[in-house]
């Protein structure tokens, strides 16, 4: 049983895909992949990063935990529904 932590993706979907290509074949349902936040900002494909992580949560080979990072928190204050912004997946 392994736990792998990934942080500071910052919208770089290509780098995320390269990392996942190396990691996912090694992980199974007893393992946990933890994303430490900072999925958005700076890079060219923040939306792609978030969608990829959500898709992994819904059907990946392992448990996926996605924490809300400071960039998402900062962006959420500009949303009309800021009080309803939640982590990508609620804690169990």
Alpha-carbon gap, residue 92 to 13, rounded angstroms = 27
71 is catalytic: yes
Alpha-carbon gap, residue 45 to 92, rounded angstroms = 29
Q: Which of 71, 75, 78, 92 is catalytic?
A: 71
Q: What's the length of the chain? A: 92
Pick from 16, 63, 60, 61: which is nearest to 38 by CA? Answer: 16
Which residues participate in catalysis according to the annotation? 71
């Amino acid at each position: 049983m392994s736990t792998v932590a990934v942080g500071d993706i910052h919208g770089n979907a290509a780098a995320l895909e390269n990392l996942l290509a190396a990691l996912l074949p090694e992980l199974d349902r007893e393992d946990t992949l933890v994303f430490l936040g900072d999925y958005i900002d700076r890079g060219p494909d923040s939306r792609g990063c978030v969608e990829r992580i959500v898709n992994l949560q819904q059907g990946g080979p392992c448990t996926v935990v996605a924490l809300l990072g400071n960039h998402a928190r900062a962006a959420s204050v500009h949303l009309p529904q800021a009080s309803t912004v939640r982590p990508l997946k609620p804690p169990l």
